[in-house]
Structure 1
Amino acid sequence: MKVNIALSHFRPSLNVFENSTKMLKLISLAQENDILVMPEGCLSGYSHNLDFLCDTRDVDIERAILELEKAAIKYKVHLIFGSLIKEQNRWFNAGILISFRGNKQIYKKVNLAMHERGILHKGNELPVFCLDINGREMKVAVQLCREIRFPEQWKFLSMNGSEIIFYLTNVSGSEKLPVWDSHLISRAAENQRYIVSSNISHPEQGCSSMIVSPDGGIVKRLNGNEEAIESIQINLESNSNWYLSQSRVDLVKVGKIVDV
């Protein structure tokens, strides 16, 4: 099965309207049936200092999400992006999947960064989402930022049928470490799955916005300093359970493999 990924990144501000305007522009530039991928916290804005969160911001975020849903339907584009969201008076760091076919699915970050703890609430599930691509059901999952450090989560998602894992992050400047890209390559190769990563654009981008193939090869990497969008076709027939099927489940049990 061939899938078109619209890989993108930009540098969000702490202004929801400014961010949603950029996102709507990217949607208009994507091709029909693309899966458009954008960074962690790109709608709400994101910072190590989370004091910018307030009671009115969640209303702005909800309104912006409705506009994004309308745009996805208009341009027939699937969206995957990050935002802080508020539910029942609790804030979460979320990865949001909006399909132009009318459904919305949300992943809530389960392994919070240290500066997020006590302010944001953690999710308690590692869901695999279904996405209708030209009448074929495809399974995907989302991971956020520091969760790249926890390979057991990625293995669990792969063993539960995820065919692509979308990685949304927001790291730059002093957080720039060569190991971030190495982690992405490892997660792809050890699980034999496509990894699609979107970080914010920045002169010192901490982790590349890129697509990594199931053999660990870099299919495409965006220029870290420039706001960009590029459509890339990938073939999911490259996915495999060959390594996963050799796991010593008698010693370490992560889950039951689901065929892809």
Structure 2
Amino acid sequence: MEITISLAQFKPTLSVEANLQKMLELVFSSKKENDIMVMPEGCLSGYSDRFDFLTQKVARDVEKAIVKLQAVSKKHQLHLIFGSCIFEDGDWYNAGLYISPSGNKQIYKKVNLAMHERDFFKAGKELSCFHLELGEKKVKVAIQLCREIRFPEQWKLLSLNGAELIFYLTNVIGHEKLAIWNAHLISRAAENQRFIISSNIAHEEQGCSSMVVSPSGKVIKQLNSIEETVERIHVDLMEVSNWYLSQSRTDLVSVEKMTSNPRRSI
């Protein structure tokens, strides 16, 4: 089964309205029915190591912007995957969101927060998968955020539970990180034999590439780090395999599958 990824990157600000307009510009420049558009961590709300910009006004603006994105996704029959800080039940979360062409919403709340995030954000409690409905077929996928690239057991768990693609949203800069974080992405793809779709912010000191990595570990596409752009990449899910996962020595080391229903939404 072949699907199309619209891989996007831009440089977010701390203005929800400005970020929303940039996201819509990218959508309108590349809209194709059933495309899966992927954008960086924190790109709707904005992101900063100092979280005093996250006010109640920002929370309301994010809610309104999500409603707008749901309408756009439904109108153009697009799948949207992007990052945002969100406010729920009195707590802030660093989250990855999915909006389907029917306007439905799924939210992944980052479970392994960066150290500087832990005094502000509440950590998520679930590592689970959700489905993309592509015509009559369903594709199981998952989201991971930024430093979660450092925890391969999370990616293995998601793969064991059937995720064929893992969307990796990040907001990291620093040239010294680039080779290491890119190598992590290639490893996560090859060791689990899954497609990894990575979207980072556009920046001259991008610390991890926006790129698509195949289940063999081959980099299919890597975006120019400084360019605000969206590019369409075709991937064939027939390349996904459980060959290595099935050879794990579970008598020595075991990453357990979820005991609850793996089909439920995150």
Report the TM-score when normalising by structure 2. 0.95
Which residue of structure 2 lines up, in the alignment, with residue 56 of structure 1? 57
| C-alpha spacing 1:161/1:44, structure 2 compared with 1 (3 Å) | same
Matches within 5 A, 1:1-260: 1-29=1-29, 30-173=31-174, 176-256=177-257
Mapped to 1, the partners of 2:125 and 2:255 lie a distance apart of 16
The amino acid of 1:19's aligned partner reads N
Q: Can you list the C-alpha shifts for 1:171-211, whole angstroms capped at 9, x where unaligned?
A: 11366331000000000000000000000000111100000
Whether the aligned pair in 1 keeps the contact of 2:71 and 2:103 (CA below 8 Å) is no
Whether the aligned pair in 1 keeps the contact of 2:9 and 2:39 (CA below 8 Å) is yes
Q: What is the deviation of 1:134?
A: 1.5
Q: Secondary structure in 1 aligned to 2:119?
A: coil
Mapped to 2, the partners of 1:5 and 1:177 lie a distance apart of 23
Mapped to 1, the partners of 2:257 and 2:54 lie a distance apart of 40
Whether the aligned pair in 2 keeps the contact of 1:160 and 1:255 (CA below 8 Å) is no
**4+ residue segments displaced more than 4 Å:** none
The amino acid of 2:129's aligned partner reads V
Q: Secondary structure in 2 aligned to 1:56?
A: helix
Whether the aligned pair in 2 keeps the contact of 1:43 and 1:61 (CA below 8 Å) is yes
Q: What is the deviation of 1:255?
A: 2.5
Mapped to 1, the partners of 2:180 and 2:19 lie a distance apart of 29
| C-alpha spacing 1:188/1:126, structure 2 compared with 1 (3 Å) | same
Whether the aligned pair in 2 keeps the contact of 1:28 and 1:75 (CA below 8 Å) is no
Q: Secondary structure in 2 aligned to 1:50?
A: coil
What count of residue pairs does the alignment treat as equivalent? 258
| C-alpha spacing 1:248/1:122, structure 2 compared with 1 (3 Å) | same
Report the TM-score when normalising by structure 1. 0.97
Q: Which runs of 5+ in 2 are unaligned?
A: none
Q: What is the deviation of 1:45?
A: 0.2
Mapped to 1, the partners of 2:165 and 2:58 lie a distance apart of 31
Q: Which runs of 5+ in 1 are unaligned?
A: none
Q: What is the deviation of 1:77?
A: 0.6
Whether the aligned pair in 2 keeps the contact of 1:27 and 1:75 (CA below 8 Å) is no
Whether the aligned pair in 2 keeps the contact of 1:94 and 1:107 (CA below 8 Å) is yes
Root mean square deviation of aligned Cα? 1.3
Q: Can you list the C-alpha shifts for 1:222-243, whole angstroms capped at 9, x where unaligned?
A: 0000101011110000000000
| C-alpha spacing 1:171/1:246, structure 2 compared with 1 (3 Å) | same
Mapped to 2, the partners of 1:130 and 1:103 lie a distance apart of 11
Q: Can you list the C-alpha shifts for 1:43-68, whole angstroms capped at 9, x where unaligned?
A: 00001111111111100000000000
The amino acid of 2:140's aligned partner reads K
Mapped to 2, the partners of 1:41 and 1:247 lie a distance apart of 35
